[in-house]
Amino acid sequence: MEKRRIGRTDLSVSKICLGTMTWGQQNTEAEGHAQMDLAFERGVNFLDTAELYSIPPKPETQGFTETYIGNWMKARGNRDRVVLASKVVGRTANEWFRGGRPSKLVRADILDAIDKSLARLQTDYIDLYQIHFPDRLITWGANPTRIGTEPAKRAEDETPIAETLAVFEELVKAGKIRHLGLSNESSWGVMRFVAESDRGVGPRVASVQNAYNLVNRTFEVNLAETCEREDVSLLAYSPLAQGYLTGKYDHGARPEGARTTLFDRGQRYETPYAAEALLAYNELARSFDMEPALFANAYVTSRWFVTSNIIGATSLPQLEMALASAEVRWTEEMQKAVDDIHQRVGNPCP
């Protein structure tokens, strides 16, 4: 499988990254191991996880996903062949990460997070350690399609970006992480991290992990320009819009065992007019004689500004289809048809 470099680092990763957030609730440890075996057999070398996982977040299953990955790497003896990415939570009122208190991007909390993740992953280092979401009070996903009627609120105790970067510098020097990444960030956030590191504070940001799919192209254009000029790689998550771009939820269907059916957490993809937009893309895929999931994944992987497409699956057949998307030849005809729909519907699910 084609490999692409992350930012200015020496990390060379497959254009498909295996996402892992379902392991621990929707998937058992054995199923997670089977997914990793298949993905690596097909040329994937890149895993993405987080201290938050599994999803949906709850104290009873927090950290399970990292534990499963750690057990797999130990059993296979392949840590040196895995590019491993994990994440520290940003500002959250959930108290189970830090043993009974809220968490922020301050030194004590970051050090606590990395040591716990390393123990669960049974490794001495993480290749790409990402800030899961900012310390700032911002909309989840960081790129709404319109601004509110008042300025966004700011926390009185907002952690300065330079302060957070200084902690990541400690982690690099200690050998616990190799590189820093962001997630769910805005253009302003990316540039502030870059500006601080350019003046000598902390490691330089290598990547940003944001949602990107047919119904959420908000990475275009401002973030795309920022990242291209600053050599910050996009690691695109949610290429299937939490399954809504597979067609299984078309016309209001709620299949047994599907994520939205189980957890009722699909509100990001249930906004006004979203159903019509999702159906249009799913029907477009079928008009090209492709399964909607294959089409949607192939679209994301084909974008010049996507370094790696973080795919997710809860079954091996789903994973097979996601991996197959790496071999799809994306055509000008497909792109024109996608852009025609986007011109009508915009980004209904930012």
Overall domain count for the chain: 1
Could you tell me which residue, 86 or 147, shows the higher pLDDT?
A: 86
Kindly state the average pLDDT of the residues 65-79: 98
The DSSP element (H or E) to which 278 belongs, if any, is helix 274-287
Question: Of the listed 53, 212, 244, 281, which one is catalytic?
Answer: 53
What tens digit of pLDDT does each residue of 210-232 get?
999 999 999 998 999 999 999 99
Residue 33, pLDDT > 80, answer yes
What tens digit of pLDDT does each residue of 181-211 get?
999 999 999 999 999 999 999 999 999 999 9
pTM over 0.75: yes
What tens digit of pLDDT does each residue of 277-326 get?
999 999 999 999 999 999 999 999 999 999 999 999 999 999 999 999 99
What tens digit of pLDDT does each residue of 88-98 get?
999 999 999 99
| pLDDT averaged over every residue in the chain | 96
Kindly state the average pLDDT of the residues 148-173: 93
Q: Is 292 a member of any domain?
A: no
Q: Is 289 a member of any domain?
A: no
Let me know how long the chain is: 350
Q: How many Cα atoms within 13 Å fall on the side-chain side of residue 143?
A: 26
Residue 140, pLDDT > 90, answer no
Whole-Å CA distances, 275 to 195, 218, 232, 262, 272: 40, 18, 33, 19, 8
At residue 257, the pLDDT reads 86
Kindly state the average pLDDT of the residues 234-246: 97
At residue 226, the pLDDT reads 97
At residue 2, the pLDDT reads 97
At residue 51, the pLDDT reads 98
At residue 221, the pLDDT reads 87
Q: Which residue from 185, 183, 180 is spatially nearest to 167, judged by alpha carbons?
A: 180
Confidence label for 150 from pLDDT (cuts 50, 70 and 90): confident
- 8 Å CB contact between 76 and 123: no
CATH of residue 91's domain is 3.20.20.100
Phi, psi (rounded to 5 degrees) for 227: -70, -35
Give catalytic status of residue 53 as yes or no.
Answer: yes
Confidence label for 146 from pLDDT (cuts 50, 70 and 90): confident
Could you list the residue range(s) of the whole structural domain that residue 141 is in? 3-244+303-331
Q: Is 71 a member of any domain?
A: yes
Q: Is 339 a member of any domain?
A: no
Confidence label for 344 from pLDDT (cuts 50, 70 and 90): very high
At residue 249, the pLDDT reads 94
Q: Is 173 a member of any domain?
A: yes
Q: How many Cα atoms within 13 Å fall on the side-chain side of residue 114?
A: 26
- 8 Å CB contact between 9 and 129: no
At residue 58, the pLDDT reads 95
Q: Is 350 a member of any domain?
A: no
Q: Is 251 a member of any domain?
A: no
Rounded to 10 degrees, the C-alpha dihedral 270/321/27/53 comes to -60
Q: Is 208 a member of any domain?
A: yes
Both structure tokens of 238: 């949610």
